[in-house]
Amino acid sequence: MPKEVIVVDDGSNDNTSQIQKDFPHAKYIYQKNSGVSSARNTGIKNATNEWIAFLDSDDTWHVDKLALQVDFHAKNPHAKMSYTDELWVRNGERVKMPKKYQKHGGDIFKECLSHCIIAPSSALLHKSLFDEVGLFDESLEVCEDYDMWLRVACGREIGLIDKKLITKYAGHDDQLSFKHWGMDRFRIEALEKLLGGAKDEVVREVLLEKYRLLLKGAIKYDKISEIKNYTRKIVIYE
């Protein structure tokens, strides 16, 4: 059982505030709607314990999730972050997770470049990591988790508890991943921040691949400004 539970209400209009009555031990924080990154950062800043785990409103933890991660870190004190495998449920039915989201442990920087393979609700991090890599980027409405895990994985090993210890629910209309087309547009922002670092060569390769894909989409839909932008960036990084 967690030593501290913090519920960040990011401007909801439901009965989230009721949690103060149902679970008086939980710390309830209300803020004006500012996005998922702001909500997570608020939780991090108010946390008093060394280890932090996230739980998004459309996910659930399995009973032994935290216990297995705590045991992993006790046996691997050098590791400052771990995550778990996950179950996917869409519209009430369990679905198979695509191969591109396959989980890996250890030095997983390259595996994190194409897509976000770590669900925030599966992660457990030592609070000192945020002093090293910074908080969630509040300028990113989506792919903020992709951005965070790349920063953590750059030069650090991430532990994997290879069991399905969370359930992710999808299919509802308000999911952020359903609101935006061309998610790579947001991923390249995260990748560009890593340029000039220790992983520069591999980052450039992935950026070029994503620029070319986005250029094809821009040409298909006759998006003139984006065609010019991605053409220019391809020339710069080739």
Give the CATH number, domain containing residue 54. 3.90.550.10
Instruction: Name residue, tokens 């976000």.
Output: 116
Whether residues 95 and 207 fall in one domain: no
Structure confidence at residue 181 (pLDDT): 54
Rounded CA gap, 113 and 208, in Å? 12
Whether residues 201 and 164 fall in one domain: no
28 in Cβ contact with 9 (< 8 Å):
yes
In a domain? residue 38 = no
Whether residues 58 and 169 fall in one domain: yes
Structure confidence at residue 118 (pLDDT): 98
Whether residues 119 and 227 fall in one domain: no
Mean pLDDT, 10 residues at a time, the chain of 238 residues: 93 90 94 97 98 96 98 98 97 93 97 96 98 97 96 97 96 50 87 94 96 95 95 94
Rounded CA gap, 214 and 183, in Å? 10
In a domain? residue 117 = yes
Rounded CA gap, 80 and 211, in Å? 33
In a domain? residue 77 = yes
In a domain? residue 129 = yes
Whether residues 121 and 157 fall in one domain: yes
Whether residues 199 and 159 fall in one domain: no
Rounded to 5°, the CA angle 172-97-141 comes to 50
Q: Write down the pTM of the prediction.
A: 0.92
* Domain range for 96: 50-178
In a domain? residue 214 = yes
Give the C-alpha distances (Å, rounded to integers) separating 26 from 2, 18, 70, 154, 181.
Answer: 10, 11, 21, 34, 37
Boundary (domain end) residue, out of 178, 205, 222: 178
In a domain? residue 69 = yes
Boundary (domain end) residue, out of 133, 152, 178: 178
Question: Which tokens go with 223?
Answer: 């998006």
Whether residues 116 and 219 fall in one domain: no
Structure confidence at residue 178 (pLDDT): 45
Structure confidence at residue 171 (pLDDT): 66
Whether residues 92 and 138 fall in one domain: yes
Looking at the structure of the chain, the number of domains it has is: 2
Whether residues 122 and 155 fall in one domain: yes
Whether residues 159 and 221 fall in one domain: no
Structure confidence at residue 93 (pLDDT): 95
In a domain? residue 184 = no
Nearest alpha-carbon partner for 124 in 71, 193, 176, 170: 71
Instruction: Name residue, tokens 């790349």.
Output: 150
In a domain? residue 105 = yes
Backbone angles phi, psi at 189, to 5 degrees: -65, -40
Whether residues 63 and 127 fall in one domain: yes
Whether residues 126 and 228 fall in one domain: no
